[in-house]
Structure 1
Amino acid sequence: MKFATYSSNGETFYGAVTENGMIALNDVCPQWPTLFDAVQAGGLDALAEAAKDRPVSHTKYAYEMVLPNARRILCVGVNFPDRNAEYKDGSEQPKFMSLFPRFASGFTGHDRPLIRPPESAQLDYEGEVAIVIGKGGRRIAQKDAYDHIAALTLCNEGTIRDWVRHAKFNVTQGKNWDRSGAIGPWLVPFADAAQLDDARIVTRVNGEVRQDDVLSRMMHPIRREIEYISTFMTLEPGDIIVTGTPTGSGARLDPPQFLKPGDVVEVEVNGIGVLRNTVQDEAP
C-alpha cells in the first residue's frame, strides 16, 4: 500500500493511494494529524490496516510534498562514479560523502510545477531515491541500516546551478529555492532489501532519457550513508535522506540544457513509481 499527502477543496489530507482515488485517514487515525506524525510513531502498518475495506473518499485531489512538515532533509551529493567524472577536476573517488541540507519549503508535490525564479534561468533536475527513517539511532552499523528505514519515495532535487557557486564551499543557497524540487508522489513502505539493491533510476525530460543508472553503482551505498550520517547526528523517525543522483543533469550536457517553462520532468524507479513535474516561471 502507498500513502500520500494531498489537498482537496482547500483542505489537506493524508491517506492511502488506490487506483480509484484516495482513502483519507486523518479522521480514522486522529492521533496522527499528519503523515509525518504517523511515520514518527511507526504507524504505517496501522494505516494500512485502517485503510482496508474503506471506500475512496476523494477522486479529485492534488498531491502535496509527501512529508511537507519534515524537519530534516539531508542530501548526498556526487554519489555515482560517472557523476564524479563530470566535474573534470581529476579527483579520485572521494573517501567521504558530500552532504548538504534541504528544507521542506524547497519541494512541491507530484504533478505540480517546479518554479523557476526570476533571478536565474539555470533550474536543473536531479532524479533520486529518498529514504525515510522509521527507527532512530546513533552510530548505526551497515548491517543494521535497512532496519531503520520506514519507507521509500522519489525526489527531483531541483537546483539553481549558478547559485550553487555563490560561495566557496556552500551549495545551500542553490539548493533551497521555494518549490524548485519535488518529493513524492507517495511513500512506499520498505519491506525488502531488493527494493533498493535492485533499483534503477531513470530521469526523462520531455520524454528524452537524461539519467539512467542503478543504485548498486553508488560510490557510497545507502547502508553506508545511514552508517556515516548517524555517526555525527542521531537519526530520528521522519528524517529524509536523498541518496544521490546519476550522471546526466542538464548542467553537465554540452551545451548545458536547463529546464524552461513547459518542460515535463519524470523521475522513475522500479518498485516505487513515477514522480512527474512541469516547469513554470515564478509569478510576479
Structure 2
Amino acid sequence: MKIAKVEFQGTARWAAITDAGAIDLTPLLEAPEGAHPLLSEAGVQRANNYVAGCSPDSALEDFSFEPFLPAPEKIICVGVNYANRNEEYRDGSNLPKFPSLFMRAPTSFTAHDRPLVRPRESEQLDYEGEIAIVIGRGGRRIAREQATAHIAGLTLMNEGTIRDWVRHAKFNVTQGKNFDFSGSIGPWMVTADEFDGFDSLALQTRVNGELRQDDSTANLIFSFADLIAYISTFTTLKTGDIISTGTPPGAGARFDPPVYLKPGDVVEVSAPGIGMLRNGVTDG
C-alpha cells in the first residue's frame, strides 16, 4: 500500500494512493493530522481492509502531495554508506566500522513536485538521492535479527545539501543539511509488506533526465538492520521516526569541476517498488 499526506480542496489529510486516485484514511485515525495509527502492522491491515471497500475520494489530478513526515521525533541521516561512495572520497580510507550520522529538521524538506530552494547564501545546492526507512514499531537496543520488523515502510528522499555550509565548522555538517526546503521527501511511503527483503533495492537519481546516481542497497556498508540496531543502541526509536540510509556515488560535488543545481533544473530520485520523487529548483 502507498500511504501519503495530500492536500485536497484546501485540507491536508492522510490517504491511500491507488492507480485511480486517493482514498481518505481519516476515518482510521485518532487525529486527522497524525499518521501513527497507519504505521503498525495492525494499522496497515486495517487500512488494506478499509481501502478494499472504497472508491477514490479524489482523482490523481485533483490533489497535491505534502512532505511524507508522519510527525517524526527524529530524522536521522546516514553519511557515506555505499561502498563506492567511500571510494569516491579518494582518501585511501578503509570502510568505516560505524555509521556516520547527523540530524535534519522537518522544515528542511519539501514535497514531491514542489521546488527545492537554493538559498541566497549559496550557489552550492547539491542533490543526494536516498531510500529512507519509516519506523513503525519503536524500541531501544533492538537486536539486528529483529530490526527489519520495526520498519513500517520505505519512502524516497533527496537529501539536498548546501556544500559550502557543511564545511563551515570542523566537526559537523548540520547547517549545510538544514536550510529550509533544500531537500525533499515522498511522495508516499510504501508499506513494508510490499517488499521481499530490503537488501537489493535499486536506486537512481537523474538531473534533467541525465542519470547521475545508480546503485543498489546490496552495496550498503551498513544494512537497514545494521542501522536500526546501531541507532537504537543510543536512542529510543519512536513510531514515525525516519532514517535516511545514505546516497550512492555521483553527487554534483564529486564532478570535476563540481556541478551544482540551479533554478530550472529537475531532479528525479527513483527506486522500483517505491516510486519516483521529482522536484524542480528555484531561488529563495
How does the TM-score come out when normalised to structure 1? 0.95
Equivalences for 1:21-32 in 2 at 5 Å? Answer: 21-26=21-26, 28-32=27-31
* Identity value in percent: 53
- AA paired with 1:55? S
31-40 vs 238-247, greater mean Cα deviation: 31-40
Structure 1 residue 182: Cα displacement: 0.8
Q: 1:30 to 1:197 in 2, by over 3 A?
A: closer
Q: Which residue of 2 aligns with 1:6?
A: 6
- AA paired with 1:51? V
Structure 1 residue 55: Cα displacement: 2.0
Structure 1 residue 269: Cα displacement: 0.7
How does the TM-score come out when normalised to structure 2? 0.95
- AA paired with 1:15? A
Q: Which runs of 5+ in 2 are unaligned?
A: none
Q: Which residue of 1 aligns with 2:172?
A: 170
| 3-state DSSP of counterpart to 1:74 | strand
Matched, 1:140 2:139: no
Structure 1 residue 151: Cα displacement: 0.8
Q: Which residue of 2 aligns with 1:220?
A: 222
Structure 1 CA distance for aligned equivalents of residues 197 and 63 of structure 2: 28
Q: 1:112 to 1:242 in 2, by over 3 A?
A: same
Q: 1:280 to 1:68 in 2, by over 3 A?
A: farther
Structure 1 residue 167: Cα displacement: 0.5
| 3-state DSSP of counterpart to 1:99 | strand
| 3-state DSSP of counterpart to 1:4 | strand
- AA paired with 2:277? L
| 3-state DSSP of counterpart to 2:198 | helix
Q: Which residue of 2 aligns with 1:88?
A: 90
Question: Cα deviation per residue 1:111-167 (whole Å; 9 max; x = unaligned)?
Answer: 111111111111110011101111111111111111111111111101111111110
Structure 2 CA distance for aligned equivalents of residues 133 and 267 of structure 1: 21
Q: Judge conservation of contact 1:72–1:239 (CA < 8 Å) in 2.
A: yes
Question: Cα deviation per residue 1:228-263 (whole Å; 9 max; x = unaligned)?
Answer: 101111111111000011000000011111111111
Q: 1:46 to 1:21 in 2, by over 3 A?
A: same
Q: Which residue of 2 aligns with 1:231?
A: 233
Q: Runs of at least 4 residues of structure 1 off by over 6 A? A: none
Structure 1 residue 35: Cα displacement: 4.7
Equivalences for 1:109-128 in 2 at 5 Å? Answer: 109-128=111-130
Q: 1:61 to 1:193 in 2, by over 3 A?
A: closer
Question: Cα deviation per residue 1:203-248 (whole Å; 9 max; x = unaligned)?
Answer: 1001111000110111111111011101111111111000011000
Out of 192, 206, 209, the position equivalent to 2:208 is 206
Structure 2 CA distance for aligned equivalents of residues 135 and 69 of structure 1: 15
- AA paired with 2:50? A
Q: 1:242 to 1:30 in 2, by over 3 A?
A: closer
Q: Which residue of 2 aligns with 1:45?
A: 45
134-143 vs 96-105, greater mean Cα deviation: 134-143
| 3-state DSSP of counterpart to 1:183 | strand
Q: Which residue of 2 aligns with 1:17?
A: 17
Structure 2 CA distance for aligned equivalents of residues 69 and 136 of structure 1: 14
Q: Judge conservation of contact 1:4–1:17 (CA < 8 Å) in 2.
A: yes
Structure 2 CA distance for aligned equivalents of residues 16 and 240 of structure 1: 19
Q: Which runs of 5+ in 1 are unaligned?
A: none
Q: Judge conservation of contact 1:146–1:193 (CA < 8 Å) in 2.
A: no
217-226 vs 78-87, greater mean Cα deviation: 78-87
| Corresponding residue pairs, total | 281
Q: Judge conservation of contact 2:14–2:35 (CA < 8 Å) in 1.
A: no
Structure 1 CA distance for aligned equivalents of residues 39 and 53 of structure 2: 25
Q: Judge conservation of contact 1:39–1:237 (CA < 8 Å) in 2.
A: no
Structure 1 CA distance for aligned equivalents of residues 195 and 101 of structure 2: 24
Structure 2 CA distance for aligned equivalents of residues 144 and 192 of structure 1: 18
